[in-house]
Amino acid sequence: DYCGKHGRWNCVKAHIRTHTGEKPFNISPFEILLSRTLRRHHLVHSGEKKHSCPICGRRIARKDNVKTHIKPYRFSSSRSAVFSIV
């Protein structure tokens, strides 16, 4: 018994590996990085935009790009937007 997490068997089985340290696949750190990079890059082509700017409402695919998008607003003298946490 581990942490009590539940869900579909294949997801639970994969999660249990975080507790046991089992690594059934021989994957190099480079391949893991490449996989993450490819998943992130896929957002460019999928059109999925989960995040939005709290100032202007523009929809943005990646959270780190929201931070980049907001930077110019910090130095703007006229802030007419209202910030709210959704």
For residue 58, what are its two tokens?
């523009």
**86 within some domain:** no
The pTM for the full model equals 0.45
Q: Each residue of 31-59: pLDDT tens digit?
A: 777 777 888 888 878 888 999 999 999 99
**Cα–Cα dist 6/26, whole Å:** 26
**83 within some domain:** no
Q: Which domain holds residue 1?
A: 1-46
Residues 13 and 31 grouped into a single domain:
yes
Residues 42 and 52 grouped into a single domain:
no
**Cα–Cα dist 67/54, whole Å:** 10
Whether 84 has a pLDDT exceeding 70, the answer reads: no
Residues 27 and 42 grouped into a single domain:
yes
